[in-house]
């Protein structure tokens, strides 16, 4: 499963990218607004850091304006994936932009029907929002499983990009179900390394090292 980092914070992206685990980045206007910087400037800098897809979201609501914004965003770098909402106008924009050769990430997906439509119009990525479904006492992972099964049944090439990731368990669950990509905040990705037994074992090792005065260099 590919890891995308869901942030517009440059330092966090550089940190994780240096570790070799970042396959792409997802952003949105809300994330970029927190930086206080221009959306095009931030997006261009992110694209220069990572080799994989960088999702940059349109802000228009009608298809023609989404297409115009998508074309402008796509000019920033070759690895831009234009992000459009899963509305009827968003699907229209996805179809046009895909046919022009651009990567498109269709976001705010909350049902298998929506995911099917996105695949039919040629989306590069479909972004089901796990955490927001869980907030409504619905099973976000069940949606991932339904989309995986449906796409495999018919050979759709659209990649399942699990979004709205809230926990380290969400990441491993997505991988087990078969999501192609999971995008998560830096803190969640780093949390995947944590385990109480690892901490306990390391504490025991270090006590033994100190007692035996062991030195490597």
Positions annotated as catalytic residues are 83
HSE-CB at 70 with a 13 A cutoff on CA atoms is: 30
CB atoms within 10 A of CB 78: 10
DSSP calls for 31-55: HHHHHTS-HHHHHHHHHHH-SS-EE
d(CA 133, CA 145): 14
156: region left, alpha or beta (phi > 0 left; psi from -120 to 50 alpha): beta
């Amino acid at each position: 499963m590919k890891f995308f980092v869901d942030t517009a914070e440059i330092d966090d992206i550089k940190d994780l990218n240096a570790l070799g685990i970042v396959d792409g980045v997802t952003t949105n206007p809300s994330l970029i607004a927190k930086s206080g910087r221009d959306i095009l400037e931030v997006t261009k800098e992110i694209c220069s850091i990572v080799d994989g897809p960088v999702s940059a979201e349109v802000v228009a609501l009608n298809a023609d304006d989404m297409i115009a914004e998508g074309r402008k965003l796509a000019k920033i770098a070759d690895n831009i994936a234009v992000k459009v909402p899963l509305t009827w106008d968003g699907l229209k924009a996805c179809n046009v932009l895909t046919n022009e050769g651009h990567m498109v990430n269709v976001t705010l997906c909350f049902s298998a029907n929506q995911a099917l439509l996105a695949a039919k119009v040629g989306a590069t990525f479909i972004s089901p929002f796990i955490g927001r479904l869980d907030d409504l006492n619905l099973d976000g992972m069940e949606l991932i499983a339904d989309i995986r099964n449906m796409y495999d049944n018919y050979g759709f090439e659209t990649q399942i990009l699990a979004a709205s990731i809230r926990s380290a368990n969400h990441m491993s669950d997505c991988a087990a179900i078969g999501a192609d990509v999971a995008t998560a905040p830096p803190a969640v990705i780093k949390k995947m390394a944590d385990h109480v037994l690892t901490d306990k074992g390391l504490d025991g090792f270090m006590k033994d090292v100190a007692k035996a005065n062991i030195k490597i260099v």
